[in-house]
Structure formats: C-alpha cells, structure tokens
Chain A
Amino acid sequence: MIVLLADTGGAAINWHTVMFYVVALAACGFAAMVAVSSNIVRMAFALIVCLSAVSGLLFLAGAHFVAAMQLMVYVGGTVVLLVFGVMLTAQKAFVSMKTTAGDWILGLVVGGTLLAILGQLIFAVPEWRHSDYQARAEAELAAYEEQLKSHIASGQDVTEAQRRRLADLITLARQGHPEETAQIGLALVGVRADRPSPEVAGYSGYLLPFEIVSVHLLVVLVGAAYLARAKRRRKPLLSSGVSTP
C-alpha cells in the first residue's frame, strides 16, 4: 500500500504535507483552467500561476536551485513571451475560443494515456514509493556503522569492500538533503562531487550536454537576431534629382 501522507513525526498537522497539497491543487487546478477556459488571455494567466505552483512544488521538494531556475526561465521568460504574443494578437476573433466535442475527446485520450504512462513510471521507482525513504537511508547508515564498530570491537579487520559500502551508504543518505549549488556547478563542468564510488558506471559529469546546449542557445540567438533584422529596401523610394516645387 502506497503511503500518501508523509510521516508526521507525531505532530497533529504536518505543514509540509498541507502545503504540498495546497500547491499541488493550485498547479492542477490552474492547469485545468488553461484547458477549459475559452478566453485566451485568461488561459495565459492561468498558465503563469500553474508554472509558479510547480516552482513551489520544487521548493517543497528541497530542490531550491531548480525551483529558482523554473521561476526565472519558465515563468519569467517563456510565459512573458507567451503573454506578449497573446496580448498583441488577442483580437476579437481569438478572444473567445470554442473547442469542439471531437477536440475534447482527442485531448482526453492523449492526455489520459500520458497520465497513465507517467503514473506507472513514477510508482515503479522503489525509492519514491515511501515518503520516509530519507529516514530509512539514515537508519540503514547508522545500523551499518554500528555493525562495523562491533566488528572492530571484537578484533576483526575492516575490509576494503566494507569501507566502500560505508562510503556508498553515506552518499545515499546525502541524496535526500537539499542540494547545494556548488555540487550542481561542479557537475556541470564534469566533476560529480557526489559520486558513490569511481567504479559505478553512469556517474560522469555533464560537461558535454552543457557545452552542446550552450552552442545551441548561441545558434538560436544568432538566428533570432537575423530573422528580426531591419530589412534593407531593394530600390530607392525617390530619385535624389527630383526637384520639389
């Protein structure tokens, strides 16, 4: 049975859970409003609130950097662009849009399929099934520490493999803490500061994707500047020899 409420630790109300439900309700509700509303400007506004609520969810999950990035890139950038475009083209014909019944059915089918796939994937990750995996990771680390201490106390040696397992458990226990920005910066230039052990595959840094995305953004910027340039006229409007009366 999947536990839906977080471990309250004995308190009557866990504010983290309450805020999670409030913000998630806001995100889903305003997203539904985007789909349901017929006024395009109100749709754009509802999208702004929905993306801000998603940023709130990221803050609640402890990913402060990603949440601030969501506010800056999505809400501050993409939606401003969207709103500009909507405002300047919101003529009478577009202000109220009617969706036909066929569109509704198609939308529900596609959206429902995507929801089913995503739900399946989310509940398939073992660490995400319980809301107290952080506490359990820390408990496992403490138990292993005790075990090694008792090993030493009874006079046995601690092998290399056991030491490596201790390092791995330390890394796993650290994963749930709010991330530190310096680790993100280091990972983007190729150094994974939170690697459990060097032999585990798939833990190299993100230097190549970072460089590729940077060049991509530069190309987009140059392309946009080229497309938006002031076009030179092919022929002069008036010959300069014409005398005015």
Chain B
Amino acid sequence: MAEYFAAWFPAGWEFLGYTLAALLQAILLVHVIALGAFVFIWAERKVSGRIQDRLGPTRTGGAFGWLQSLADGIKLLSKEDLMPKDADPLLFRLAPYVAFAAGFAAFMALPFASGWVALHLNVGLFFLIAVLGLEVFGVILAGYSSGSKWALFGAMRQAAQVVSYEVPLGICVVIPLMICGTMDLVAIGDQQRGLFTNWLIFHDPFIFLVFWVYFTCAVASVNRAPFDLAEAESELVAGFLTEYSGIRWSLFFMAEYGSMILVSALAAILFFGGWNGPLPIFSALMDNFSYLAECWWFSTLANLLGVVNLLLKASIGVIAMMWVRWTFPRLRVDQVITMCLKYCVPIAAVCFLGVMVWTALGVPFMNDLLPSQNRALVREGWVHESDQRAVEFLQRLERNSDQGGVE
C-alpha cells in the first residue's frame, strides 16, 4: 500500500505517500478495536441476558438496544475525574494508556487477508506473543499507583496469572508454527487454503487437543472469567480497577476487548484457516484461470471476503469466551495457578512431542496441506533479487567449468 501511495507524489516527496499509507493503516486498526469493542460490549450484555433467561438491553436505539454501547460511552465520558489522595498522579493517569498501547501494538502484526497486514514481519507470530505479554504493565502500574491495598493485591494476582499463562500459551502457539515451518502469519494462513479439511486443526489429534488448551490459556491471559479473580467483587472490590472510573475505566475495557479479539483472531489464523473459507471458491478459480489471478480487482474481492471470514471466526471465538464467562463459576487463585502448572503445561508439552513425532516420522496427515514444493515457495524467501542474478551467474559458471570449457 505504501508504494501505491508513494507513486502519487513527485520524486523526492514520496515520504508523504508513506505517511499517508501509515496513517490509513493506523486508522483502520484503531477502528477494528473501537468498533469491535462497541459491538462486543453490546453482544456481551445480550448474550449474558439470554443465558440468564432475560432479554438484555432492548430500548436504546431501537429494537435490540444496539446503541447501548454508545449510551455507555457518553455516560462514562461525563463522569467526574477522580484520583485518590495517595495515588501517584503521573502513573495513575498513564496506566490505561500503557494497557491500551500494548493491546493495539499487537494488532499491527496481525494479517486480515493474504498480504493485508500493517507490518509484514518475518517473525510476526513471535512479535505477537511478545507484545501480548506487555499488557501486564498497564495492570501493575494501575494497581500500584492507585494507592490502595485492594488494587495492589488485585494487580499482583493478575500479573502473576498473566505471566504464568504465557508459558503454556507459548507452547501451544509453537505447534502450528512447527507444522508450517514459518513464523510469518501470512504464510501460515496461506498454507491452509483449499477445502476446510486443510485447516491445521484437522492435521492430527494432538493439535486438535492443543486448540482447546490454547483457548483456555487465551481466556486466562486476557483475564476473562472463569479466570477473572482480579476483578472479582466478592474478593477484591474491583481489583486493580478499584480507583478507576469514567473514561479511564473504559480504556481498560477497550484494551481487554481488543485482546479478546486478538487472541480469537490468532486462533482463527493458526488453527482454523484464517481468511480462507470452508470451500475454495476464489482460490480454485484463481488456480484454474490464471487471468483471474492477475486481475487486481478479483484478488481484492477475494481478500475482502477473506477479511469477512477472519472477523467472523474471531467473533465466534469472542462469543464463545462470553458464553464460557456466564456459564462457569469463578476459579480461586490457587486453582488458577494449579490449572496452569499442573494441567495446561503438561498437556501442551505432551501434544508438542506428539506433533513432533507425528511430523518427523512422516505419519500421513489427516489433511493434505500444500505439497512440499509449494510449501517451500510460500515460506520465507532465501535469496533477494539482487543476489539472485549473481547466484545464477555463479551456477552457470560452475556448470560451464564442469562441462570443461567456456561457452
């Protein structure tokens, strides 16, 4: 996208094109989080209402109360801006923005369609997992700077929970990485094109089990119930959020909903084929009619539907998280850590060994991912253009010397 905009400007002014592209990508990403939070807060109230055999919001904005989130936002904006006397003023004000920034930074490396990613990193998956672990700073800062012991205890417990669940999350994420052979999320998604049986979750029974462990660890690391003891009113007032009200509180919740969307979208890419739909309509057409593969409007249309696919799968994941929240009772803190260390880590490690053995021994897969030569093509390139010519030249020289003469 950057080169497309840069071509609009005369020579020497391309930096304006890059600026425009960067601004556009940032605006789009912020809208994903903001509109996602808007929709999912409304959805949470509706889903929780239905599970509890009531209706949820029905009045604001028409039949389904779909403007409830807007009303909530207006209410939160107009609340009084309080700060406790013992609070550290700078850190108290800074904490929600740190939490939000960490959540937002991870979206930069998340692809929404083949090639539609703000920051196309070779180590995209690694970067995502590293940045997910930075959200704990907002929590710790909020808990400390509130100047109250409930906030501090809540923040310490939440930080311990997030940090300890990063371990099984990392192991679960390494397994699809191992199968696909690359950390590039675009390449992982592209390798799952075709029929829905090509999705990585159907690759072997170990990775099927790993998806459920990943889901559990993801719910724990975004601090959703049943792992939300840090916000549990029965224990700690509201944990690290005790002293926050108004727009600062809503920033924390936007960060939480943003993280929920992120881990669901990551699960969709790693396990459920990402932007590929269940039936290979566009990819089959593009494989058989090469003219279509060259058309920019056809591939853009395919990518747009890919974005819709990915957001649909991420939404299903988020609604499943809400479903789990309003169904299961909350876990105690020692039960949370037991679950992590005694259940999630061993299961993830055993599945890791299982997948490694399955792949290394060449046991036939339950699906057929792209054949291995195509896999090498979608993997990271080993040479760059400028060296490619030189390498070919060198190979030609070697072949000539093998043939014993100069042409």
User: What is the interface size of chain B, counting residues whose CB is below 8 A from a CB of the partner?
Assistant: 55
Partner-binding segment picked from B63-71, B136-144, B329-337: B136-144
Q: How far is the CA of A87 from the CA of B400 in the complex (A)?
A: 70
A158 in contact with B15 (CB, 8 Å)? no
The answer to whether B357 has its CB under 8 Å from any CB of chain A is no
**Within residues 1 to 38 of chain A, which ones have a CB less than 8 A from any CB in chain B?**
10-15
B129 in contact with A72 (CB, 8 Å)? yes
B123 in contact with A10 (CB, 8 Å)? no
A152 neighbours in B (Cβ, 8 Å)? 406-407
B136 in contact with A72 (CB, 8 Å)? no
- A138 and B386 in contact (CB under 8 A), knowing A65-B122, A87-B140, A181-B380? yes
**Within residues 287 to 324 of chain B, which ones have a CB less than 8 A from any CB in chain A?**
none
A72 neighbours in B (Cβ, 8 Å)? 126, 129-130, 133
The answer to whether B262 has its CB under 8 Å from any CB of chain A is no
B130 in contact with A76 (CB, 8 Å)? yes
The answer to whether A210 has its CB under 8 Å from any CB of chain B is no
**Within residues 80 to 117 of chain A, which ones have a CB less than 8 A from any CB in chain B?**
80, 83-84, 87-88, 90
The answer to whether B152 has its CB under 8 Å from any CB of chain A is yes
B380 in contact with A80 (CB, 8 Å)? no
Q: How far is the CA of A84 from the CA of B401 in the complex (A)?
A: 65
B91 in contact with A182 (CB, 8 Å)? no
A177 neighbours in B (Cβ, 8 Å)? 384
Which of B131, B136, B397 touches A163 (beta carbons < 8 Å)?
B397
B126 in contact with A68 (CB, 8 Å)? yes
The answer to whether A223 has its CB under 8 Å from any CB of chain B is no
| Proximity string of chain A (42-85) to chain B, C-beta cutoff 8 Å, 1 when within and 0 when not | 10010010001000000000001100110110011000100110
Q: Quick one: closest A residue to B140, CB to CB?
A: A83
Partner-binding segment picked from B6-14, B227-235, B278-286: B6-14
B390 in contact with A170 (CB, 8 Å)? yes
A167 neighbours in B (Cβ, 8 Å)? 394
- A84 and B88 in contact (CB under 8 A), knowing A64-B122, A65-B126, A174-B384? no
A180 in contact with B13 (CB, 8 Å)? no
| Proximity string of chain B (1-39) to chain A, C-beta cutoff 8 Å, 1 when within and 0 when not | 000000000011111001100000000000000000000
B134 in contact with A75 (CB, 8 Å)? yes
CB distance from B150 to the nearest CB of A (A): 14
A202 neighbours in B (Cβ, 8 Å)? none
Size category of the A interface is 35 or more
B406 in contact with A83 (CB, 8 Å)? no
The answer to whether B127 has its CB under 8 Å from any CB of chain A is yes
The answer to whether B398 has its CB under 8 Å from any CB of chain A is yes
Q: Quick one: closest A residue to B127, CB to CB?
A: A68
| Proximity string of chain B (365-407) to chain A, C-beta cutoff 8 Å, 1 when within and 0 when not | 0000000000000011111101101110110011011000011
The answer to whether A209 has its CB under 8 Å from any CB of chain B is no
B397 neighbours in A (Cβ, 8 Å)? 148, 158, 163, 166
Q: How far is the CA of A222 from the CA of B166 in the complex (A)?
A: 19
The answer to whether B200 has its CB under 8 Å from any CB of chain A is no
B380 in contact with A180 (CB, 8 Å)? yes
CB distance from A107 to the nearest CB of B (A): 24
A65 in contact with B123 (CB, 8 Å)? yes
| Proximity string of chain A (116-145) to chain B, C-beta cutoff 8 Å, 1 when within and 0 when not | 000000000000000000000010011001
B133 neighbours in A (Cβ, 8 Å)? 72, 76, 80
CB distance from B120 to the nearest CB of A (A): 10
**Within residues 86 to 131 of chain B, which ones have a CB less than 8 A from any CB in chain A?**
88, 90-91, 94, 121-123, 126-127, 129-131
B383 neighbours in A (Cβ, 8 Å)? 174
Q: Quick one: closest A residue to B119, CB to CB?
A: A59
Which of A13, A45, A75, A142 touches B141 (beta carbons < 8 Å)?
A45
A173 in contact with B406 (CB, 8 Å)? no
B141 neighbours in A (Cβ, 8 Å)? 45
B91 in contact with A12 (CB, 8 Å)? no
Q: How far is the CA of A167 from the CA of B387 in the complex (A)?
A: 10
Q: How far is the CA of A152 from the CA of B394 in the complex (A)?
A: 13
The answer to whether A41 has its CB under 8 Å from any CB of chain B is yes
- A180 and B122 in contact (CB under 8 A), knowing A10-B11, A41-B91, A80-B163? yes
Which of B15, B88, B387 touches A15 (beta carbons < 8 Å)?
B15
CB distance from A84 to the nearest CB of B (A): 7
- A14 and B15 in contact (CB under 8 A), knowing A80-B136, A163-B398? yes
Q: How far is the CA of A64 from the CA of B18 in the complex (A)?
A: 20
- A10 and B18 in contact (CB under 8 A), knowing A157-B406, A163-B394, A166-B394? no
- A181 and B122 in contact (CB under 8 A), knowing A72-B130, A84-B159? yes
A45 neighbours in B (Cβ, 8 Å)? 91, 94, 141
B381 neighbours in A (Cβ, 8 Å)? 180
A52 neighbours in B (Cβ, 8 Å)? 134
The answer to whether B156 has its CB under 8 Å from any CB of chain A is yes
B137 neighbours in A (Cβ, 8 Å)? 48, 80, 83
| Proximity string of chain A (160-182) to chain B, C-beta cutoff 8 Å, 1 when within and 0 when not | 00010011011001100110111
A84 neighbours in B (Cβ, 8 Å)? 140, 156, 159
The answer to whether B47 has its CB under 8 Å from any CB of chain A is no
Pairs across A and B, CB under 8 Å, 19 listed? A11-B13, A11-B15, A15-B18, A41-B88, A42-B91, A65-B123, A68-B121, A72-B129, A75-B130, A80-B133, A87-B156, A148-B397, A155-B406, A158-B400, A158-B401, A158-B406, A167-B394, A180-B122, A181-B122
| Known contacts A83-B140, A182-B379, then 6 further A-B pairs from the complex at CB < 8 Å, ordered by chain A residue | A11-B15, A39-B88, A45-B94, A69-B126, A84-B140, A170-B394
List of 3 A-B pairs having minimum Cβ-Cβ separation, nearest first: A72-B130, A76-B133, A71-B130
